[in-house]
Amino acid sequence: MIRLLVVDDHPVVRAGMVAVLGEEDDFEVVGEAANGAEALGLVPRLHPDVVLMDLRMPVMDGAEATARITAQAGAPQVLVLTTYDTDADIVRAVEAGARGYLLKDAPTGVLADAIRRAARGETVLAPPVAARLADRLRAPARPELTGREVEVLGLVARGLSNADIGRELYIGEATVKTHLIRAFAKLGVTDRTAAVTAAYASGLIELPRH
């Protein structure tokens, strides 16, 4: 069962999302919040697996709330669900640590699949959002990542932990960390989701489709 926290400042939107998500056998909506500050207070009490986060809200916006939530130990995955797809909004959400970014007009099946993938630790981007990020982040020169660094980032995109990647590639967990640190430096990023996004934008990896 995937535990969900729905964060949106519009009560009607929250009610609609709760109703739709409640139709899925493997989802349980454990709470609702009207802004980022409320969400921040509910996460340690409700222990959701995935937080569905709106971006533009009063008191505390979604990007700031995402950054604070993902900084906590044992943090849930945050999946941004918003009507906005401007470059600034997308980049702020990704930099804040969001696992994915979907638009609110996404079909129910797409949303449900994205939640399941986010819960597994996969990076989830709506196609138009991925295209916008690719256009924004694509560098004139392709980053010179080694084949092993590309392999590691490809497995990160699938949601594997460092330990899982080590087992998959028959290397030590410390070696995995070394490859990631070097890849981060070459891509100019500081976290796993941003690295996956930058690698995708540079054409180095493909995002998982299922």
- pLDDT means over runs of 10, the chain (210 residues): 96 92 93 95 96 92 92 91 73 82 87 93 78 59 82 92 94 94 89 87 77
What is the pLDDT, as a whole number, of residue 189? 86
What's the pLDDT score for residue 101? 86
> What is residue 197's predicted lDDT score, i.e. its pLDDT?
86
Confidence (pLDDT) at 135: 62
Contact at 8 Å (CB) between 171 and 122? Answer: no
Evaluate whether 67 touches 97 at the Cβ level (below 8 Å).
Answer: yes
- Decide yes or no: CATH 1.10.10.10 for domain 139-201: yes
Residue-level pLDDT at 11: 93
Helix, strand, coil shares of the chain, percent, nearest 5, are 50, 15, 35
**How much is the pTM?**
0.69
Q: Are 201 and 138 in contact (CB under 8 A)?
A: yes
Looking at residue 207, what is its pLDDT? 81
57 three-class SS: coil
Q: Which ranges in the chain are annotated with CATH 3.40.50.2300?
A: 2-135
Domain with CATH 1.10.10.10 in the chain: 139-201
Q: Which class would CATH give 2-135?
A: alpha beta
Long-range pairs, 35-39, Cβ under 8 A, ≥24: 35/7, 35/9, 35/59, 35/60, 35/65, 36/7, 36/60, 36/61, 36/62, 36/64, 36/65, 36/66, 36/68, 37/65, 38/7, 39/5, 39/7, 39/65, 39/69
Q: What angle do CA 183, 89, 114 make, to 5 degrees?
A: 70
Other C-beta atoms closer than 10 Å to the C-beta of 178 total 15
> How many whole angstroms separate alpha carbon 158 and alpha carbon 145?
18
pLDDT of residue 26: 95
Q: What is the reported pLDDT for 198? A: 85
Residue 105 DSSP SS3: coil
